[in-house]
Amino acid sequence: MELSPAQLAKLSKKEERYVELEKLLADSDIVADQDQYQKLAKEYSDLTPLVELVRQMNKTIRQMEDTEALLKDKPDDDFAELAEAELEDLIKRKEQLAEQLDDLTNPRNQDKNRNLIFEIRAGTGGLEASLFAGDLYRMYTKYAEKKGWTIEPIEIHESEAGGYKEVIFSISGQGVSERLRWESGGHRVQRVPATEASGRIHTSAATVAVLFEPEEVEIDINPSDLRIDIYRSSGPGGQSVNTTDSAVRITHVPTGIVVQCQDERSQLKNKAKAMRVLRARLHDQKIQEQQAKESQDRKLKVGSGDRSEKIRTYNYPDRRVTDHRIGFTTHKLNFVMDGDLDEITDALIKADREQALNE
């Protein structure tokens, strides 16, 4: 593949910025300002993999040009054969590097290493739906453990049956959003509930919302737009959990978005977590508005994030999991629920790439 002129121009500017950052990080005034230094160091670290690829690409192009120049001089047959073989290898190398750089510069891929905030809510099905919400939380937790990612609970509302009415948590780590950005939507389970004496199969549901967690600088929130309420946290059944008023509810007045957190005993920690969720919801609202402006044929079929869309069914009697968006089915339900999601996420990533090529 060939990189577009726009991508090449962007790569050139990235490398210029990288060189500039090297000089800034060696500046004693910058080193003395630790906040500024850490910010620039992070930017430098984020750019390093990209710039290394750019430099490998430039080196490969120079080697190709040198080899082509040698072949124009009409060397003897043995040398020409070696040069042609080397040129073939260099062409393949250039194509591989171009694909890697495309992954890093294509707007469709810019969010693939974002941290995510998950919101799982029990839907239709009563207590069985809350148990299923708990199963989904466990599934994502197990998957994160297998990948070496970090899960942080933000807000949890347990049900009387031991499941969850709602659970909000963050997942951070390399490649998190590349793998899990597709999980937004309705998840449906078909099984015999533990409380069902007659053995009838019931259908219950839970909704999953996956939000990209933005940096603070990406979402500007005016403090005057916030109404912050402090109250005493409570557990299942309304009993008091803490003896101090540490739970926080934040209302973003312009949009009416309400977030709350009582997971921590510290009011400041609860407020910080609630603000993370608020920023993520505002960022998500912005994305949804942008997608709504696009024509229907350009919306992502795989990763549209439509919460009302039924995306997946977990059928326990047949040990079957079906992703309805791409027609993918596996009969490894037990493994999936234990966190082995790669087969499903690989299929979703492949479908998205094929769609991108078609566009």
| Closest among 223, 207, 33 to 124, alpha carbons compared | 207
Q: Which residue has the higher pLDDT, 238 or 291?
A: 291
pLDDT at residue 138 is higher than 70: yes
Domain boundaries, the chain: 5-105, 116-217+302-358, 218-292
User: What confidence score (pLDDT) does residue 207 get?
Assistant: 96
User: What confidence score (pLDDT) does residue 359 get?
Assistant: 52
Fold of the domain built from segment(s) 218-292 = Double Stranded RNA Binding Domain (3.30.160)
Number of helices (H), then strands (E), in the chain: 9, 11
Element (H, E) at 358: helix 342-358
User: What confidence score (pLDDT) does residue 160 get?
Assistant: 83
Is the domain 116-217+302-358 a CATH 3.40.50.10470 member?
Answer: no
User: What confidence score (pLDDT) does residue 9 get?
Assistant: 84
Average pLDDT for 266-283: 91
Q: Which residue has the higher pLDDT, 197 or 77?
A: 77
pLDDT at residue 206 is higher than 90: yes
User: What confidence score (pLDDT) does residue 298 get?
Assistant: 39
Q: Which residue has the higher pLDDT, 65 or 160?
A: 65
Average pLDDT for 286-309: 57
Q: How confident is the model at residue 2 (pLDDT cuts 50, 70, 90)?
A: confident
Where on the phi/psi map is residue 306: left (φ > 0), alpha (ψ -120 to 50), or beta? beta
Q: Dig out the tokens for 267 from the structure.
A: 């009011």
Place of tokens 């027609």: 327
pLDDT at residue 195 is higher than 80: no
pLDDT at residue 23 is higher than 50: yes
Average pLDDT for 10-33: 92
Q: Which residue has the higher pLDDT, 331 or 267?
A: 331
Are 320 and 331 in contact, with CB atoms under 8 Å apart? yes
Task: Calculate the average pLDDT of the chain.
Answer: 86
Average pLDDT for 305-319: 83
Cα 46 to Cα 32, 37, 41, 53, 177, distances in angstroms = 22, 14, 9, 13, 16
Q: Regarding beta strands 185-191 and 310-315, do their DSSP bridges make them parallel or antiparallel, or are they unpaired?
A: parallel
User: What confidence score (pLDDT) does residue 136 get?
Assistant: 97
pLDDT at residue 42 is higher than 70: yes
pLDDT at residue 142 is higher than 70: yes
Average pLDDT for 189-212: 88
Question: Percentage of the chain surpassing pLDDT 90?
Answer: 58
Q: How confident is the model at residue 106 (pLDDT cuts 50, 70, 90)?
A: low
Query: How many CB atoms neighbour CB 5 within 10 A?
Result: 8
User: What confidence score (pLDDT) does residue 336 get?
Assistant: 97
| Per-residue pLDDT tens digits for 208-261 | 999 998 876 678 889 999 999 998 876 554 444 555 678 999 999 999 999 999
